[in-house]
Amino acid sequence: MKQGNKTGTCPQTRKRQAVEPPYSSFSLWEKRFIVLAAALSAFFSPLTAQIYFPALNVLADAFHVSTSKINLTITTYMVFQGVTPMFIGGFADTGGRRPAYAVCFVVYIGANIGVALCQNYGQLLVLRCLQSAGSASTVALCQAVIADTITSAERGQYIGITVLPIVLAPSLGPVLGGILTQYLGWRSIFWFLTILAAVTLVLILFFFPETCRRLVGDGSVRPHPVYRTLWQVIKDSHRRRKAEKSKDLDQLHRIHTATSSKSRPKLKVAFGNPFDSVMLLFEPVLGLLLFYSAVVFAGFYAIATAMSEQFKEIYGLGEIEIGLMYLPMAGGSVVAAFIVGPAINWNYRRHAKRLGMTLTKGRQDDLTNFPIERARIEVGLPLLGLATCVLFAWGWALQYKASIAVPAVLLFLMGIGMIGFNNTSSVLVVDMYPGKAGAATAANNLTRCLVGAAATAAITPMINGIGSGWAFTIFGFLYLIGGPILLVIMKNGIKWRRQLREKQARKEALAKVGDHENNASNLPTAASGPPRTKAGSIPEKSHKERRHLTLSRHCAVDKATKHVHSLGKMK
């Protein structure tokens, strides 16, 4: 408790809390609207994947190919679903959220029109990849928007908003897909998605504000007009006309000052490095967390992919009935959303109280010495245990043709366990990398989709070769074998994060020294310029000068390292 008392009474901490401005200038209802809009946009990625499942058998007949070849369209979809956010996530972190949304939905709408009109299997395969490229990044963008506007202490209460559309899509998607396929044909699925995406794009362009903190800070900074919504532009025009009509010179001056080209920030289109997401995978905490989360997610996709064919063969269900069988998982997901959110906030407050931290609503807490990994994973472990038990039971229930009520109950419990654990791990990813939320979520998406793609491709041959029971038992053992990874993260999370900060501080110090050297070398020593040798070249630095620069570099690195250690000891 001594450590906790020091943390609570630290004068630097009290001073920081006293002067630090609110994390976001958006009001409570504005934040709710922003988060809800981002979640509804993220609805498209899982919806597009799941609405397709009831039509698999129909598509195999329509294009005269095997079920394995149709399953390949799911595998390639997931590969692109994992890779694309690497490009869009980095772009969104530097170029803004609104441009990223616009690019995603334009590509997605075009791909849907193409799939609806395709005439052969090759076109279907290629256009599904393009469709995935358009929709995949919406999940990463949703998490990035949350990191822009919501503090770590408040994040749990918004899980219900962010998770519901995302978890309902995998369950409602098959129902919609089954109804559309049976009554209007499989092509109607993609016309439906086209219309829905077009409406969403219009709403984003009109009402969704830019939240990227590099561009708008806490939301109060006025960005370049390109980043402003059409609603904001219309409101500005209305205020100007109103001021002109009333001849309010002060108001006109304020409007002119705010909107003039001189005060307007420069438009900078920046494309993030797509390999930033890959490099994040080599950082210990995030790499281990994402690897294990991907294994857990692979079990979900194995169940979802095999369900359509298994329910048709074992229980003789049609497309609509197969779609309805996904609803129990939706119910479990809803329960998980309402359980996990309050649990995450409660456990965060519990650890903060134990450390003597003072939590201030609306302000982001310093997580330097806060065990954020333990606070999040402790909530996820019981849910993971439930998902593991269900996975063992699932395969054997299908192999022995249990009553259809049994898989329905298991799907409900799977929705609670697997989706609940997924929620906690996603929140932890954003907590650890708030400044790189887009890239970190893209890395999360990459690992899940690539491992999920492998599971999707392997599950049908596994069931045909060893049966459902042993096929899903193997996935259950993977859950058990990888479980200790979470315990390692809980134990070493703070230490690894501190080491990473020290490494980054050294890199920044060396970069500053390098800039100083370059600037110094460009300065003339006299009015006529730098001294030159007989050949006209600038002489090399003397031994004394080189030694001085080397000592400066070491001093800068030592100073940065001591600064990092002082931050670690502050609490």
Q: Read off the pLDDT of residues 111-133 as tens digits, 9 standing for 90 and up.
A: 999 999 998 998 999 999 999 98
- Domains in the chain (CATH in brackets) are 26-215+272-482 (1.20.1250.20), 494-517+544-571 (no CATH)
**Across all residues in the chain, what is the average pLDDT?**
77
How confident is the model at residue 216, as a pLDDT? 81
d(CA 267, CA 224): 6
Q: How far is CA 240 from CA 205, 207, 223, 231, in A?
A: 22, 20, 18, 14
Residue with tokens 């803004």: 96
DSSP 3-state of 187: helix
List the Cα angle 52/464/459 in 5-degree steps.
Answer: 45
Q: Read off the pLDDT of residues 510-562 as tens digits, 9 standing for 90 and up.
A: 766 665 556 555 555 544 455 444 444 444 445 555 555 455 555 554 555 55
d(CA 494, CA 500): 10
Band (pLDDT 50/70/90 cuts) for residue 106 is: very high
Q: Is the pTM of this model over 0.85?
A: no
* Alpha helix positions (H), 51-186: 56-62, 67-95, 97-117, 121-135, 137-149, 159-184
d(CA 369, CA 568): 6
DSSP for 333-395? HHHHHHHHHHHHHHHHHHHHHHHTPPP-TTSPPP-TTS-HHHHHHHHHHHHHHHHHHHHHHHH
Beta strands per DSSP E along 20-178: none
Q: Read off the pLDDT of residues 314-343 as tens digits, 9 standing for 90 and up.
A: 888 877 787 788 788 878 888 887 888 888
Nearest alpha carbon to residue 200 among 20, 421, 36, 419: 36
Band (pLDDT 50/70/90 cuts) for residue 3 is: very low
Residue with tokens 């249990």: 402
Write the single-letter amino acid at 419. Answer: I
Residues of the chain above pLDDT 70, percent: 74
233 or 417: which leads in pLDDT: 417
